[in-house]
Every structure is written in structure tokens, then in C-alpha cells.
Amino acid sequence: ASQPEMHCHRTLVDALSLGFVLAGFAHLLHHRKTQLSYGRHMRPTPLLRTVPAPLAWFLQEMPAFLIPLLLTLTPHQASGTGKRLLLGTFVTHYFQRTFIYSFLTRGRPFPLNVMVAGAFFCSLSGFLQGHYLLHCAQYDQHWTAGFRCRTGLLLFYTGMAINIHSDSVLRNLREPGEVVYRIPTGGFFRYVSGANFFGEITEWMGYAVATWSLPALSFALFSLCFIGPRALHHHRELEIFREREFKRDPECRKELNPVVF
């Protein structure tokens, strides 16, 4: 006998999607002037507990990779090419972040509370995207050949390539142990100060177009609200450094988007 299909919890999907949008806007308002305390913006305090950056990124990103895979073990609708492709797209990002980026990063120790919050967020996003695609979404056999899916996937993998290359540029700015401030150059950093952020935002906008769903759109909006202010803050730091050291910015980079701003 065939297994019964797992019920689509539509109310939960809509509630989580709305929650991501509201959380994104709340973060945007709260961090207009100060950034979340990790990386270069970490503010040491006597009670601060930290985790080595590679371990922190691994533990933080793992749930978004693992939970969708575990959900494939639950009874679900027969998986067409569209569902497998889109779920694989989401999981591919977090495979890279969990098993490649985390072991290559040379970042500063990570605040424990930020890591726990990030792991909680990744758990929710992994469940939301996995449950929606496996138990709620309907994609016919022509979806993967359609304009939305192809355009979205092109954006996603273009953004992913920009993000991975930009992370590599940032990792190689300094020798291990160096703490000097250096301006990233090359690749997409020729056009925007936050090339790594631009790449990741492009990924999730592409994913939202490819899936054409509320959960994916809410995730993309949250990413924009979370990463965007950090990119703008980095750009302002860069402008101050350039003005002090070089008196001008010969490359005229944008903050986050190479066309708009």
C-alpha cells in the first residue's frame, strides 16, 4: 500500500512567511545605525561568549541544509522535476555554506547568542521551504521550461557565483593573523562595495522568481532587509577609509546594487 501524503499546513506556511517579512522589516528599522554584533561589527563585552568562526558557521547553517533533506523522508506528493530542482537549488546554497564556506572562513570568533539565533532562523527557513515545496507546491511538467523558472535559476546561480568569488576575495585580503584594514578589489567589487552581499541577495531574488511562491518571496525580502543595511554600513566605512587615505574614490563604486545605488 502506498504511504499517505503528509498534509500541507497552509496556515502555518502563511504565518511563517508573514513572520519572515515582519522580522525583516523589524531588523531593518532596528539596525539602521548599528549593526548586529558579529564579524567586524562585534562589540566585545565581559560576558560575551564566542565560538570559533568555522564551527559557528557550520552549526548555524546546517539546519537549513539538513531539515529539507529530512522532510524528503516524510510522506509527500510524488516529486516532479520542478520540485526536485527547486528544493535542490535551496539545498545547494546551504551545502556550500555548511561544508565549504564554514571550513574556509578566516572570520573572527562568533558570538554564541548570534550563532544560536542564526541556527533557529535556518531551522525555520529550512522547514518552511522544504515543507512548502514537498507538501504544498504544485508545479506541472512544463514549469521548469517556463520563463519564470529559467530566469529565476539564472539569477540564483549568477548570484551564487558572485557570492562565492567575493567571499574568496575577502578571505585573501589579509594573511592569517593580520588585522589591517584593506579595500577589496577585483571581481564584482569593481562595481559595488558589498559584492558578497549583492550576490546573496541576487540568489534569493532568483529563487523567489523560480518558485513564484510566498515562502520564497518572504525569505528573499528578509535577506534583503538583513543583509542590505550591513552592506550600506560597510560602504560608508569604505568611503571614510578612502577619503582619509586616498582623498577620493577613483572607482565610484555603488553601495549594494551596481545600477541603482
Whether residue 210 contacts residue 143, with contact meaning beta carbons closer than 8 Å, is answered with no
Residue 43 sits at the vertex; the CA angle it makes with 37 and 49, to the nearest 5 degrees, is 80
Q: Does the pLDDT of residue 82 top 50, yes or no? A: yes
CA separation for the pair 59, 195 (Å, rounded): 25
59: phi then psi, degrees, rounded to nearest 5: -70, -35
Contact 140, 78 (CB under 8 A): no
Residue 247 has pLDDT above 60, yes or no: no
Q: Are 207 and 220 in contact (CB under 8 A)?
A: yes
For the chain, the domain total comes to: 1
Cell numbers for 138, please give them.
504544485
Helix (H, G, I), strand (E, B) or coil at 254: strand
| Domain assignment present for 4 | no
The Cα angle at residue 223 between residues 161 and 111, in degrees rounded to 5: 95
Under 8 Å between Cβ of 171 and 53: no
Using only the alpha carbons of the chain, give its radius of gyration. 19
260 within domain boundaries: no
Q: Is residue 212 part of a domain?
A: yes
- Classify the phi-psi angles of 137: left when phi > 0, otherwise alpha if psi is within -120 to 50, otherwise beta: beta
pTM: 0.85
Q: How far is CA 59 from the centre of its chain?
A: 15
Asked whether residue 44 is domain-assigned, the answer is yes
Looking at the domain assignment, is residue 3 inside a domain? no
Residue 70 structural domain: 11-254
Residue 198 lies in a domain: yes
Single-letter residue type at 180: V
Instruction: Give the pLDDT band of residue 1 (cuts 50, 70, 90).
Output: very low
Residues 99-135 pLDDT 10s: 999 999 877 888 898 899 999 999 999 999 999 999 9
* Alpha helices per DSSP H over the chain: 10-30, 53-71, 81-96, 102-104, 112-131, 147-171, 195-211, 214-245
Flag whether 113 is in a domain. yes
Q: What is the mean predicted confidence (pLDDT) over 220-234?
A: 84
Q: Is residue 216 part of a domain?
A: yes
pLDDT of residue 6: 72
CA–CA separation, 176 vs 15, rounded Å?
A: 44
Lookup result for grid cell 550576490: 199
